[in-house]
Amino acid sequence: MPSANALRLQIERTLENRFPAALTPAPRTARKSAAVGIAEIDKLLAGGFPVGAISEITGPSTSGRTCLALKFIAERTHEGKVCAWVDVSDALDPESAAASGVCLRQLLWVRCGSGAGRANGKPWSRLDQALRSTDLLLQAGGFAAIVLDMGDTAVEHGRRIPLATWYRFRQAADQSRSCLLVLGSVAYAQSSADVVLECAPHGAGGAGQAVLDGCAFDVQLKRQRSASAMAAMRKPPASTWTAASAWTTGARL
């Protein structure tokens, strides 16, 4: 009985004129990346967040996840590109966004928080509204980056999101060439995410009682699917960066 390798070779020779290399997987190629604008993070990611893919930034409150996303959005809006921020808990502070360099004229803010006419303020209803909004934005196209800010959404609600939803988001992001950043306390997209970063607070420098002049964050690379990740993963995937700007103590980082 011929071996499996012999059978494979025979099939490929039969099909080579009609379907060249029919059983040969396509080589893995690196996606185009968009720089975050923070040298340490761009080095960690071997260039930045992948274009046309899902990236997750996880960590507790004040871990730097929002600050990191704002810096990424600032880079895109300064390039003249339009971005969107889907805010599950209506927690985005426009003043902090502007202080991070975001051009607010180039940012669509979708507020899904509590209040009159906003899904009755119920946690799952807000999250469902945010998911529907994200889906519409991805399908519409034209957004260089979309942030789905799940913030401190309860883990049990976040894990109710079907895997089919994340797969659909992944496909839509690829077709629209949008960077979809998902912020949350833990990772939710599982295999649909190309990149997962885990953030944690490292320390802060004070400049009086009302203003912070610097906040340091530890960032670990938990997943990266692109070919360029292979070199990065040979060494410990961790980095520390500092956000130094005039953040008030009430700002959400």
- The reported pLDDT for the residue numbered 31 is 72
Nearest to 244 by CA among 44, 62, 67: 67
- The reported pLDDT for the residue numbered 107 is 97
State both tokens at 30: 């690196």
Which residue ranges in the chain fall short of pLDDT 50? 21-22, 26, 116-120, 207, 209-212, 227-233, 244-253
Nearest to 38 by CA among 217, 181, 202: 217
Q: 64: Cβ–Cβ under 8 A, 6 or more apart, which residues?
A: 199, 200, 201, 215, 217, 219, 241, 243, 253
Give the Cα separation of 58 and 140 in Å (integer).
Answer: 26
Exposure string (b/e) for 142-169, b if CB count within 10 Å is 16 or more? Answer: ebbbbbbbbbebeeebbeebeeebbebb
Nearest to 219 by CA among 72, 41, 50: 41
For the question of whether the overall pTM of this predicted structure is more than 0.95, the answer is: no
- The reported pLDDT for the residue numbered 152 is 83
- The reported pLDDT for the residue numbered 250 is 33
Q: Which CATH number fits domain 27-248: 3.40.30.10, 1.20.840.10, 3.30.70.260, 3.40.50.300?
A: 3.40.50.300
Nearest to 97 by CA among 106, 89, 79, 88: 106
